[in-house]
């Protein structure tokens, strides 16, 4: 799982490269390689991080944050004004007698001067927003990793159930063939053969249901991996049973690790920092900006010509609007983020506690089944099967033993799957790998 988080961080860094450069990079020339049909859990997670459609959409938030940073760095544009006034366009005529005119031509430049370090505060807000987007992407990666890993466990469990159902069906088919021989020899009544055939048909139905669950698990995993619907089969390599261990850490230590590692907590903490920077920006927005202007004026009249310069300073009077609304909004958002962080920490604390309890319970259940149920159930089935073939037990006893063995194995597979899920959930709740 550490490979997964390292892969995720590298993916965030590579997002800074232009899309065109990524498309022209080695390894992407030509058609992409065909997806593998048989994957490990880590390979499935890696493929999902590359191709999952929702995650690809989430990555665009980083591009949006980059564009906001570009906008924040921009300075206000100067304003160029050109004018021509007192022009004799109506044919009146300018003379010394009528005193009209003279015609004037002007050019003026006004330059806004931002005060209060507004530009720097805008850049700070945009930088913090980008950091929030990056951490939110890591949170999406954490959630997707959890979903894919759980889907892989579902698929492994479905495969184990199919194998168990097929094995049971083969056992009943052998019994049916044996009973057909016995009926021909007159060793058993025909009704015994009919009962065995009915049991065989029931197990065929179990095989079909198990195969349907397997197909459903494959479809779900295929969607998470971002693969198009194709006739190619997808499979997960490995066994449902796994040798897992957990670090023997107390609950307070695990909670502290979760608070330090969880991306969703870091996202809210970064949002608080961004909110503080935005508050500084809104306070700076309350300060008025100056506009400096320079004007060149030329007059051309009957009495002569003249060139003049003018200087201007514009200062808004903050009599009514002093950005009170935006300041109050940012202060309220800061309080809201603080409460959300407290609520999230309480939720994470509950998640860690629940995940740890689930892990410990499922581990004890797996060990109990392995030590107390598996061997007796298998021995009972084999013994009854042997005695039934020898004619020393009834079909009812054989079916009861087979059903007890089947129920035991299904319980064992469910316990193993629940144990693996508990491990995955505990790692996801902590935001790092503490079980292996």
User: So what's the pLDDT on residue 227?
Assistant: 85
Taking the C-alpha atoms of residue 42 and residue 59, their distance in angstroms, rounded to an integer, is 21
Q: Domain tally for the chain?
A: 1
Which residues of the chain carry a pLDDT beneath 50?
A: 1-32, 436
Determine whether 236 is exposed, middle or buried from the number of CB atoms within 10 Å of its CB (0-12, 13-18, 19+). buried
Residue 180 covered by a domain: yes
Residue 118 covered by a domain: yes
Statement: the pTM of the whole predicted model exceeds 0.85: no
C-beta separation of 32 from 71 below 8 A: no
Tokens standing for residue 316: 């808004």
C-alpha pair distances (Å), 378 with each of 199, 327, 385, 392, 408: 19, 72, 10, 19, 9
Residue 200 covered by a domain: yes
Residue 211 covered by a domain: yes
C-beta separation of 419 from 244 below 8 A: yes
- The CATH number of the domain where 354 resides is what? 1.20.1600.10
Tokens standing for residue 150: 């759980």
- Residues 360-408: pLDDT tens digits? 898 889 989 988 888 888 898 889 888 888 888 888 888 888 889 989 9
User: So what's the pLDDT on residue 240?
Assistant: 84
Give Dmax over CA atoms of the chain in angstroms.
145
Residue 388 covered by a domain: yes
C-alpha pair distances (Å), 390 with each of 172, 179, 199, 379, 387: 16, 12, 20, 16, 5
User: So what's the pLDDT on residue 100?
Assistant: 79
User: So what's the pLDDT on residue 10?
Assistant: 36
User: So what's the pLDDT on residue 238?
Assistant: 85
User: So what's the pLDDT on residue 5?
Assistant: 40
Residue 275 covered by a domain: yes
Helix axis angle, 53-73 relative to 118-185, nearest 10°? 180
User: So what's the pLDDT on residue 248?
Assistant: 65
Which residue range forms the structural domain that includes residue 364? 2-23+36-85+109-430
User: So what's the pLDDT on residue 198?
Assistant: 92
User: So what's the pLDDT on residue 250?
Assistant: 86
Residue 95 covered by a domain: no
Phi/psi for 315 (5° steps) reads -135, 115
> Which residues, listed in sequence order, are joined to residue 236 by a DSSP beta bridge?
39
User: So what's the pLDDT on residue 166?
Assistant: 94
Task: Please name which of 37, 35, 31, 42 lies closest in space to residue 3, comparing C-alpha atoms.
Answer: 42
- Residues 86-118: pLDDT tens digits? 888 888 888 777 777 788 999 999 999 999 999
Residue 101 covered by a domain: no
């Amino acid at each position: 799982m550490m490979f997964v988080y390292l892969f995720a961080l590298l993916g965030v860094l590579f997002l800074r490269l232009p899309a065109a450069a990524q498309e022209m990079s080695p390894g992407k020339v030509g058609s992409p390689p065909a997806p593998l049909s048989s994957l490990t859990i880590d390979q499935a997670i890696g493929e999902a991080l590359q191709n999952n459609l929702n995650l690809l959409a989430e990555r665009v938030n980083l591009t949006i944050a980059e564009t906001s940073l570009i906008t924040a760095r921009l300075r206000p544009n100067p304003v160029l004004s050109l004018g021509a006034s007192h022009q004799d366009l109506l044919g009146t005529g300018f003379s010394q007698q009528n005193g009209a005119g003279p015609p004037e031509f002007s050019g003026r430049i006004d330059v806004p001067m931002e005060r209060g370090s507004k530009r720097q505060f805008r850049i700070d807000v945009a930088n913090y927003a980008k950091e929030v987007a990056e951490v939110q992407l890591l949170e999406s990666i954490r959630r997707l990793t959890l979903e894919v890993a759980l889907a892989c466990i579902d698929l492994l469990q479905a495969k184990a159930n199919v194998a168990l159902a097929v094995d049971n069906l083969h056992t009943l088919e052998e019994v049916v063939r044996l009973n057909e021989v016995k009926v021909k020899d007159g060793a058993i009544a025909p009704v015994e053969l009919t009962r065995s055939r009915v049991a065989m048909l029931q197990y065929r139905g179990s095989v079909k249901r198990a195969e349907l669950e397997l197909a459903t698990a494959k479809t779900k995993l295929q969607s998470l991996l971002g693969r198009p619907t194709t006739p190619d089969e997808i499979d997960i390599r490995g066994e449902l049973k796994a040798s897992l261990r957990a670090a023997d850490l107390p609950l307070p230590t695990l909670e502290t690790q979760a608070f330090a590692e969880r991306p969703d907590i870091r996202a809210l903490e970064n949002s608080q920092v961004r909110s503080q920077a935005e508050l500084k920006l809104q306070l700076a927005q309350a300060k008025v900006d100056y506009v400096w202007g320079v004007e060149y004026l030329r007059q051309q009249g009957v009495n002569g010509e003249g060139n003049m310069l003018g200087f201007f300073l514009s200062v808004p009077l903050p009599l009514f609007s002093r950005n009170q609304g935006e300041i109050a909004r940012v202060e309220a958002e800061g309080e809201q983020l603080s409460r959300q962080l407290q609520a999230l920490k309480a939720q994470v604390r509950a998640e860690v506690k629940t995940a740890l309890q689930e892990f410990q319970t499922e581990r004890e259940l797996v060990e109990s089944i392995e030590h107390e149920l598996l061997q007796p159930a298998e021995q009972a089935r084999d013994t009854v099967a042997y005695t039934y073939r020898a004619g020393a037990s009834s079909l009812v006893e054989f079916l009861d033993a087979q059903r007890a063995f089947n129920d035991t194995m299904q319980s064992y597979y469910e316990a193993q799957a629940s144990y693996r899920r508990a491990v995955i959930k505990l790692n996801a709740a902590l935001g790092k790998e503490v079980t292996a």
